[in-house]
């Protein structure tokens, strides 16, 4: 896969009886792409936004795939302790996950923000 030279951290949320748990999984050798655009705003106009696409080559796909609702952080995040741990970090919430590991060329998992 071309330009698969970035690192991400997948923050997976699990609800337990006693508390919320967050697992951080680091993936090295992925492709990170952000595209600036416009999206409808709450006021009825348009607001700037960034749509992210991350491609995880088959060789570095983690055991547990990202799911909608997980958070993808650009770079290494040691631990997640709430939104404050993402301050000044490029990140997005997963909205779509596609499993393209059966592709003939560059098998991968694709993760998108929307």
What integer is the mean pLDDT of 56-84? 94
Question: What whole-number distance in Å separates Cα of residue 108 and Cα of residue 103?
Answer: 8
| Domains of the chain by residue range | 6-112
pLDDT confidence bin for 52, thresholds 50/70/90 = very high
Q: Sign (positive/negative) of CA torsion 98, 113, 93, 60?
A: positive
Question: What whole-number distance in Å separates Cα of residue 114 and Cα of residue 61?
Answer: 21
Q: pTM above the 0.75 mark? A: yes
Tell whether the model's pLDDT for residue 2 goes beyond 80.
no
Strands 20-40 and 96-100: unpaired
Question: Which residues neighbour 84 within 8 Å (Cβ) at sequence distance 6 or greater?
Answer: none
Contact by Cβ (8 Å): 95, 114: yes
């Amino acid at each position: 896969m071309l330009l698969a030279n970035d690192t991400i951290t997948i923050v997976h949320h699990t609800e337990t009886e006693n508390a919320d748990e967050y697992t951080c999984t680091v993936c090295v050798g992925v492709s990170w792409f952000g595209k600036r655009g416009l999206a409808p705003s709450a006021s009825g106009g348009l607001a700037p936004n960034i749509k992210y696409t991350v491609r995880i080559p088959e060789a570095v796909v983690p055991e547990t795939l990202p799911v909608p609702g997980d958070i993808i952080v650009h770079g290494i995040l040691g631990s997640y302790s709430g939104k404050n741990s993402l301050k000044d970090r490029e990140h997005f919430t997963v909205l779509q996950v596609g499993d393209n590991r059966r592709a003939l060329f560059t098998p991968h998992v694709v993760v998108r923000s929307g």
